[in-house]
Amino acid sequence: MPAQHPSQMVELDAHLGELSPDLFSSIFVASVQALETYGIEWAIELVHQLAIAPALGREPVAPEALLSRLGFVSAFDPALRWLLRRLASAGHLVCEERGGARLYSQPQPLRPAAIAEFRDLALAIDPRNAASLDLLDAAGESYPKVARGELSGQQALLGPHRIALWTRYFHNDNPIYAINNIIAATAVANRLPAAQGRILEIGAGGGSGSEALLDTLGQRGRLSAIASYRITEPSPFFRRRAQRGLTAAHPQLPLEFAELDIDKPWAEQGVEPESADLIFGVNVVHVAQDLAFSLGEALRTLVPGGWLIVEECVRPRPGEAISTEMIFQLLDSFTAVKIDPKTRPNPGFLTVAEWRKALRTAGFDRVEVVPDLEAITESFPLFFAGALCARKPR
């Protein structure tokens, strides 16, 4: 979110609904803006480093033509498209649509990037922004190697040498990420049955979303509303980490830890139909290989009237680039998914309207958005986090 005039902050408060305005302090708002700008600086830097800038002139050119002209490997295509979109939405390049294709030109020479200055600025706003800056740096430093085919995105970003970077990023001490967990926890706590609630969490990673939920329920005196809480995650490393931390913090709670791949039939993995009152996932459902399939599996697993809560980074406008995507454009798991022009027009993050359509098409009868992102986005285009709460028909 950009720095806002106090009267605009009042306007924002009116759309926060279930969320406390205290979550959106001026430090937090400035951090969001600084990190978004940092991604743009990296895009400028990479366009210079990869010699994309000299290949772009006043004549509009298609990304695929640039890819072959510069000799980049085809796996770099999503990352190149992200660079061009990111710079076009920041006003550094011109993008025009011709026959459904996007073409790019560069009317003015691009200025040098100022990465070090913007890194210092983001750290001065909040030193805890280091977790996000370090991950963006790791991605930026990997782009040239992936473009030249020296490394795959997976090798560059998901090897054992990167684990500490990811665990620091998906952590409640990283304010830019923690907001996702707080929004999810609030939306879940407000929709959990008063008693005997059976919760299923998908893609729980190292458990930062689970931790936020248990904290929220604890603060509300509602931990006894949990009949069972199955915390699932396919990666054994992250699952064990979640299990260690959460069972130590809550030895009295009925927590279960299991593997669940949302791309495969859930019943075959021990998750029975109509066995959950509430399912939630923080920043996981957008990686579903086949979104319609995974939403269908969630619907089957819920009892009638049960809620699926999908907390996600939400794209403000169709096709608009977001700075955190710079990291994920290098990963096949993010980019190589099944596309559907109606319900999933692009890999990765979707707009609220696209989520609504996907959830309705999957058979959910009511969709609520926490906070009211459709009202917020017009005035606050950098408000990216939200929970899509979808109810199974009663």
Ligand X SMILES: C[S@@+](CC[C@H](N)C(=O)[O-])C[C@H]1O[C@@H](n2cnc3c(N)ncnc32)[C@H](O)[C@@H]1O
For residue 233, the minimal CB distance to ligand X (Å) is 5
Chain contacts with ligand X (rule: CB under 6 A): 170, 181, 202-206, 208-209, 233-235, 238, 260-263, 282-284, 287
* Alpha-helical segments (H) within 16-129: 26-49, 52-55, 63-69, 77-89, 115-125
CB closer to ligand X, 78 vs 203: 203
CB closer to ligand X, 52 vs 314: 314
Q: Which residue is nearest to ligand X (CB)?
A: 205
For residue 260, the minimal CB distance to ligand X (Å) is 6
For residue 67, the minimal CB distance to ligand X (Å) is 27
Question: At 374, is the secondary structure helix, strand, or coil?
Answer: helix
Asked if residues 205 and 170 have their Cβ atoms less than 8 Å apart, the reply is: yes
CB closer to ligand X, 39 vs 63: 39
Residue with tokens 């990167």: 162
CB closer to ligand X, 18 vs 261: 261
For residue 177, the minimal CB distance to ligand X (Å) is 7
Asked if residues 42 and 394 have their Cβ atoms less than 8 Å apart, the reply is: no
| Distance (Å, whole) CA 10 – CA 21 | 9
For residue 153, the minimal CB distance to ligand X (Å) is 15
For residue 40, the minimal CB distance to ligand X (Å) is 22
For residue 155, the minimal CB distance to ligand X (Å) is 17
For residue 339, the minimal CB distance to ligand X (Å) is 17
| Distance (Å, whole) CA 317 – CA 235 | 32
CB closer to ligand X, 140 vs 234: 234
Distances (CA, A) of 13 to 60, 95, 175: 42, 34, 19
CB closer to ligand X, 233 vs 354: 233
Question: At 378, which amino acid appears?
Answer: E
Residues listed for the chain? 394
The strands making up 255-258's β-sheet, listed across from edge to edge, are 255-258, 226-232, 197-201, 276-282, 302-313, 385-391, 366-370
* Alpha-helical segments (H) within the chain: 6-15, 26-49, 52-55, 63-69, 77-89, 115-125, 130-147, 153-158, 163-169, 175-189, 208-219, 236-249, 291-301, 325-328, 332-335, 352-362, 373-377
CB closer to ligand X, 60 vs 209: 209
Asked if residues 230 and 201 have their Cβ atoms less than 8 Å apart, the reply is: yes
For residue 134, the minimal CB distance to ligand X (Å) is 16
CB closer to ligand X, 199 vs 282: 282
| Distance (Å, whole) CA 197 – CA 174 | 29
| Distance (Å, whole) CA 380 – CA 125 | 20
CB closer to ligand X, 234 vs 347: 234
